[in-house]
Structure 1
Amino acid sequence: MTTAQLTSPYQHYVYAYPHKTAYRGLEDRPALRDLWAAEPKDALSLYLHIPFCEVRCGFCNLFTRIGAPDGLTGAYLDALERQATAVRDALGASEEVRFATAAFGGGTPTFLTAAELERLCDLAEHRMGADLRAIPLSVEASPATATADRLAVLADRGATRLSLGIQSFVDTEARAAVRPQRRADVEAALGRIRDTRIPVLNIDLIYGIDGQTERSWRHSLDAALAWRPEELYLYPLYVRPLTGLDRRGQDSGPDPAWDDQRLRLYRAGRDHLLAHGYTQQSMRMFRRADAPSQGADDYACQTDGMIGLGCGARSYTAGLHYSFDYAVDMHQIRGIIDTYVSTADFSHAEVGYAMDAHEARRRHLLQSLLQAEGLPADDYRARFGGTPAEDFGPELGRLADRGWLDHTDPTTLRLTPEGLAHSDAIGPELFSPAVRAAMARYERK
C-alpha cells in the first residue's frame, strides 16, 4: 500500500481476516471430522446465520436476500438442522465439547417468526448442545422486525444482547441510505426492546450519509443516548460494488472531501460519547462504563474454535477458515441459498482459506491492534515465540512514522487515538501479499 493510500482513512472494514473474497473452492473437500479432530473444543463460539431481510439497505454488501417465498424460511431451517447434525457429529461425542458464546446474525434473524425463532434456539441447544441461558447470546434485529412476540422468545431463551441497526434517527438520512423507516417506528421498537429487559442494547449508527451534517449527526447521537444503550457502534458509510448506492452511481472513486467529512463526524461522535460516560473499545465500538460484560468484543468472530451454521457463516479452525460461496448480487445470493437449502450432505468443507503460521501471526496482530486496549507483548510472545516488531517490522514502522502507534507503554502495542481513527486504513495495510492477491483475483458476483 502506498503512502497516499494509507492517508485515506476509509479503505476497508476489517471484521474478519482473511476476507471471504480470498476464499476459494477446496478441491480436497476435507471432512469436518478431520478438521476438528485436534482442535480444542472446550470454549467454542457458535454463530447461526439467517440470510433474510425485509429490505436491503443501500449500503449493505452482506450475504442476504430480500424477503422469502412461501416455505423458504422453513426449508432453510430444515437445512440448518441437517448442517447442525453433521457438524455436531463431526465434533465427536467427547464431554469436552462446550460452547462459550453464541450469536444469531444475518441478514436479520428476527425476520423469522416467533415460532421459527423458537426452532432456531432449539437447534442451537438440542442439536449443537449450546446452553443459551448460561452463555452470552447476541442477536441482531431491525426496528420493523423487533416485534413483542419475537423479543419475548429471545428474552425467554436467554438473549443477553440485542443489536438494533438504526443508522440514523433522521428520516431523510435513512431514506438517503436506502433504508426506509420512520423515527416513530424506531422509537417504538426501542421501547419494546427495553421492556424485555435484555441486559445489553446495542444501537448501530452510520456517519457520512449524503446530506448529513455535524448537527444532524449530533441529533442522532442524542436520540440514541436518550435510551442509554449499553453499547453503540458508529460506522462510516461505504459504497461497495453491487450495492444499492453503487447502482445509484454514488461510488465515483476516491473522494477526499467525503473522507474529510467522515473523519470529522467520527471525531465528533467519538468525543460526544466519551463525554457521556462511554469507553472506546475500537474505532466503531463504544460501551457504557457501567454496562455488563459480554465477553469478547467485536473481534470475537476472529477467534479459532468458531462454528458457523448457515450459508453465509464462516467457521474457523487453526489451519482452515471455511464457509460456503459468497456473493453480493441478489440473483447470485438467491442461487447460493437455493443450493444450501437443497444440500443433503454437510460433512465436508467446500470453500475456504488455509491458514499457515505466518497468517496466524498476522491475524492475531490485526485483531488485537485494532482494539483500543492493544496487544500485550507477553501475550504475543507466549503464542508465537517472538515479538510483533520481529515479525512485522516494516508494517509497524510505517504506522509509527505516521504517529499512529502509542509508545508510552513498552509492554503493549497500541494505536494512538488518531491511529484508531484510521483503523480502516491500518487493517488493509496489514494484509499479507497472498491475501491481497487472492482478493484481487476474486470475481465479483
Structure 2
Amino acid sequence: MEYHDSETAQEVAARVESFMDEQVIPREREALRTGEPVSEAEIAEFWEMAKERNLFAPQMPEEYGGQGLDFQDMLPSFEQVGRSLLGALSIRANAPHEGNMHTLELVGTEAQKEEWLRPLVQGEISSAFSMTEPMGGGGSDPKMLQTTAQKDGDEWVINGHKWWTSDGADADFLLVMARTDLDAHPYEGTSIILVPTDTDGVNVVRNVGHLGGHGITERTGGHAEVKYENVRVPVENTVGEEGAGFRVAQMRLGGGRLTHCMRYSGMAERSLEIAKAYISEREGFGSTLSEKQALRHRIADAETRLHAARATSRHAARELDRSDARIEVAMAKNFTANVTNEIIDLAIQCCGANGIGKDLPLAHFYENVRPFRIVDGADEVHRRSIARWAFDDVDETEIENVLRFDEKRRVDALDE
C-alpha cells in the first residue's frame, strides 16, 4: 500500500527494515529457538550498528545523538521495528524511554537535558514514568491522583503509592506525577517531578507479575510498584511548568499512543506474513490451507483492517502536528489496538499448534498485544472521549487548557 509518506520517511524506514531483517530478527529467532536471552552486550552492539547506519534514536534531535526526524517521518520506522520483539530496543526507540526522552526534550530545562536527557538517549541510564496508582488512586480516571508533593523551602516532599511504573525497577530516574496544589482542580494543580531512584524514601516494592513479558532479553524490564515516603528533591526538578503536569502528560501520551500504534501495526504485519507463509505450504483435506475460501476471506478482512489502522494513525499524526488531535489519536489508538489483537489471534489460528508454540514469535506477540487495549488508555476511556466529542458534550474548559498549552508550544517554536 502507498501511504504517501515523505521521501525521507520511506528511505529511513527501508533502512530500518533491512536492519531488522539482516540483524535483529535472526537474533530474535535464535533466542526463541534456544531460550538463550539477548545480553546487554548484544543490545549495545545493536546500538552501535544502528549508529553506523544512521538509525539510532530516530525520534531525537541530532545534538543528543539521534536522527532528528520529525514526528511524521519517524512513524514508518516505528512500524518496521514493531515487526520484532527486539526491534524498538535495538534502535533505542522503546517505551517508556522514547516518551520520556520526548518529554524532557520539549519541556525540560537545559540543566535537566544535559544531566538526564543526553545520557538517556545514549542508553547510559534508564528511566520510568510513574503515574498509575493502586485502587482508589489515579488510573483510567487520572483526576483521582493521590500522590502529593508539598513544598518545604526549595524542596518538594513527595508521598504516594504507584504501580505499573514501566521499567521502574531498573530506572535511574522517575518522572513522577503528583498533586502540588490540593486546592486547585487536578488539571491545574498537578506537576511532573524528576526523582532519581537512589533518593532516600524511594522504595521499589516489586515488579507486578503480568500477561506478556517474553523474557527474550537479560533485562526483563517489568512494571514496578513504587512507594514514595517523604522523598525530597529540589523544586528545580519540576519538569515543565508547575501545575502543568496533565498538559505535559497529554503531550507525552498523544505521540506515545501513535508510536505504539505503529509498532503494533508492524507486529500485525509480520504475524500476517507468518500466517500466509504457513497456510501456503500446509496441506489438509486435499489442498493447501491458503486455497480454503474461509481462510482467504479472513486474511482479506485482516489486510483491509490493518490498512485502515495504518491510515488512521498517519492521519492522526498529521493532525497532531497542527493541534491537540485528541479525538484523532483516541480513534487511532482504540481501533489499532483491537485490529492488532484480532490479526495476531487469526495468525495463531492459521498456524495451529505452531501458532501456540514458542518457536515462532506469534505466542509472544499474542501475550504482548492484549495489554495494548488497556495501557496508554483503555478502550473504554478512548471510546468515552470519542462519544463525548460525537455528542458535543466535551468539557470546554479542559479543551481550552490543552489548546492554550499547545499555542504556547507553537509560539516558543517560532521564537526559536
* Greater relative contact order (Cα < 8 A, sep 6+): 1
Same fold (TM over 0.5): no
TM-score, normalization: structure 1? 0.27
